[in-house]
Structure 1
Amino acid sequence: MTIVLNEPGVDGLTGAVDALRAWQDDRTPLQLHPGDLGWAWALGAKRLAAAVRTWSADGRIVAVGYLDGPDVLRLTTAPDLRQDEDLARRLAADLDDPGRGVLPPGKVGLEVPDGARLREVLAEAGWQPDEPWTPLRRDLSEPVEGSGLRIEVAGPETAEVRTAVHRSAFGSPRFTEEVWHVLAAGPVYADARCLIGYDDRGDAVAAVTVWSAGPGRPGLLEPVGVHADHRGRGHGAAICVAAAAALRGMGASSALVCTQSSNTAAVATYRAAGFEPSPERLDLGRPA
């Protein structure tokens, strides 16, 4: 098959999201999710489009990559082509040559699903195992217990509360009310919810955004945060339980989240919320 590398532009982002939505299944512990692009939409569609690449064959998108930072590419493929030799070789050539406009020169990291032929092809080319990540999954076939927090779905009138929790949790000033409105106006947010958790004093203590990929498919938690003034009280696990309940209400088959394996506190929080860890996944690194 003839495989074509594309820069989809703003008009092509919806096609990339639709492909990612169709590829989500519970057999893959975690892969690039439409919610990842939905969250990045907060930066604006033009900036997101500049960070997305697609590969197509006969008019069908067969792989999607998202440059999540200057030197980290998150990439996944159509499940039926994950072992396809032609696709793996073409992707490897495009990833290894900075002149093709996918990755910059020098040391870079790559996320790609386990079991993909691409991993083996890149290893043959000298790419090395890199940062370890722990995917976690909660099955949603059964009802989800209460979280113990009062949960509110954020809207325009509570966007400042939602963003204030995030800024405190991550120590970042960038997620403002104005940025939230850009996020919420993006087309992917139609299948998302921002949840705010309040304690029994009425304080906003935690927040999460959940992303559905459609009924019967895994949903994603991205991001999860606890206000810096309210840590160490179980609110992280509680907001994750609320996130699982929200995704179940949206028809998701499971709830997914992933964190660096070195972040043992986060892994413990997710496990306390009923998420079970999948086998550790290693990124790949291209040597400098």
Structure 2
Amino acid sequence: MPITLSTPDTAGLAEAVAVLREWQRDGAPFQLHPGDIGWFWRFGAAATAAAVRIWRRDRRILAVGLLDGADLLRVTIAMHAHQDEELARKLATDATTPGNGVLPPGRVAVEAPKGALVQGLLAEAGWRTDAPWSPLRRDLTEPVEDPGLRIEVVGPELVSARTSVHRSAFGLPGFTDERWGAMAAGVPYSAARCLLAYDGDGSAVAAVTVWSAGPGRPGVIEPMGVHHDHRGRGHGRAITVAAAAALRELGASSALVYTPSSNTGAVATYQSGGFERLPEVWDYYRPS
């Protein structure tokens, strides 16, 4: 059977999320996580469905992609299919051919699991490696230390404080209470938590969202931020430790996060929170 490309309807998103949960494994190359789709869900179910791409053979899902913005396709592949030549050629062709509903013309990028055959095919087609990213991992076998700040799980009464911290941390206005509500209504959020850290004065100083893929599987942090007015006081480390503890409570085997290698402050914060820096990874981009 030939490999087919499709975009799910909103009901089909649940299948994609379920498959992504099954594919999460400790020791596997860093890959698209159900939490990545969960974070995108802040734009609503319809927008999320429109951003997801699914590749199948004989109705079996082999790869799932997320258009994370107009110019980046984040794709992951079933472990047994990393070296599947037919799939790799289909992915490379779909990514390289403008106008087929995957990527637009011009400078675009593809994130794929390190070592997957599709990376080599993109390189052969003239794609180049982009700036490196640093994955980081914390094992959750042992209990997590106290973060040193008061931590609250975000429910309806804390949504405004949580979104306010995010907007301050990232300098972006887009994460509103309404978008938090859309995210929390999404399928992936059933295995997620938002946390707020408070300092001794009672101010909300940092926030994080953590996403579990189920017991015994890696969870992911996406996003984490410290309020602009409260930086340089160790709050990033505190909320990172709290995130690890929350994922452990959700049954995760490890906590994962990744950030541009150029963001040395973020890398240092995660390392201070007990995360080990793993070998760098690269997206592939097509020059415009």
TM-score, structure 2 as length reference = 0.98
Letter in 1 for 2:247: L
Letter in 2 for 1:285: Y
Find the counterpart in structure 1 of residue 242 from structure 2. 242
Segment of structure 1 superposing worse, 209-218 or 29-38 = 29-38
Cα offsets for 1:176-202 (capped at 9, x unmatched): 112111111112111000000011221
Q: Is 1:211 the equivalent of 2:204?
A: no
Q: Distance between the aligned counterparts of 1:8 and 1:18, measured in 2?
A: 13
Cα offsets for 1:110-130 (capped at 9, x unmatched): 111101011011111111111
Find the counterpart in structure 2 of residue 63 from structure 1. 63
Q: Could you tell me how far 1:254 is from its partner in structure 2?
A: 0.3
Find the counterpart in structure 2 of residue 201 from structure 1. 201
Give SS of 1:196's match. strand
Q: Distance between the aligned counterparts of 2:243 and 2:58, measured in 1?
A: 38
Give SS of 1:106's match. coil
Q: Is 1:51 the equivalent of 2:51?
A: yes
Tell me if the contact between 2:210 and 2:221 (Cα under 8 Å) persists in the aligned partners: yes
Q: Could you tell me how far 1:29 is from its partner in structure 2?
A: 4.4
Find the counterpart in structure 1 of residue 85 from structure 2. 85
Q: Could you tell me how far 1:7 is from its partner in structure 2?
A: 1.0
Letter in 2 for 1:115: G
Find the counterpart in structure 2 of residue 120 from structure 1. 120
Give SS of 1:282's match. strand
Tell me if the contact between 1:210 and 1:243 (Cα under 8 Å) persists in the aligned partners: yes
Q: Distance between the aligned counterparts of 1:29 and 1:96, measured in 2?
A: 23
Find the counterpart in structure 1 of residue 191 from structure 2. 191
Find the counterpart in structure 1 of residue 157 from structure 2. 157
The sequence identity of aligned pairs, in percent, is 64
Alpha-carbon distance change, 152 to 29 in structure 1, aligned in 2, over 3 angstroms? farther
Segment of structure 1 superposing worse, 10-19 or 243-252 = 10-19
Find the counterpart in structure 1 of residue 38 from structure 2. 38
Give SS of 2:146's match. coil
Q: Could you tell me how far 1:9 is from its partner in structure 2?
A: 2.0
Q: Could you tell me how far 1:99 is from its partner in structure 2?
A: 2.6
Find the counterpart in structure 2 of residue 177 from structure 1. 177
Alignment of 1:223-238 (within 5 A): 223-238=223-238
RMSD: 0.9
Q: Distance between the aligned counterparts of 2:199 and 2:229, measured in 1?
A: 12
Tell me if the contact between 1:29 and 1:136 (Cα under 8 Å) persists in the aligned partners: no
TM-score, structure 1 as length reference = 0.98
Give SS of 1:267's match. helix
Give SS of 1:238's match. helix
Tell me if the contact between 1:29 and 1:135 (Cα under 8 Å) persists in the aligned partners: no
Give SS of 2:61's match. strand
Tell me if the contact between 1:131 and 1:284 (Cα under 8 Å) persists in the aligned partners: no
Segment of structure 1 superposing worse, 76-85 or 9-18 = 9-18
Q: Distance between the aligned counterparts of 2:173 and 2:128, measured in 1?
A: 35
Structure 1 residue ranges (4+ consecutive) displaced by more than 3 angstroms after TM superposition: none
Give SS of 2:99's match. helix
Tell me if the contact between 1:137 and 1:277 (Cα under 8 Å) persists in the aligned partners: yes
Q: Is 1:139 the equivalent of 2:139?
A: yes
Cα offsets for 1:132-185 (capped at 9, x unmatched): 100000000111000001110000111111111111111111111121111111
Q: Distance between the aligned counterparts of 2:44 and 2:99, measured in 1?
A: 26
Tell me if the contact between 2:30 and 2:114 (Cα under 8 Å) persists in the aligned partners: no
Find the counterpart in structure 2 of residue 4 from structure 1. 4
Structure 1 unmatched ranges of 5 or more: none
Q: Distance between the aligned counterparts of 2:28 and 2:199, measured in 1?
A: 35
Tell me if the contact between 1:52 and 1:64 (Cα under 8 Å) persists in the aligned partners: yes
Q: Distance between the aligned counterparts of 2:92 and 2:30, measured in 1?
A: 21
Give SS of 1:10's match. coil
Tell me if the contact between 2:94 and 2:102 (Cα under 8 Å) persists in the aligned partners: yes
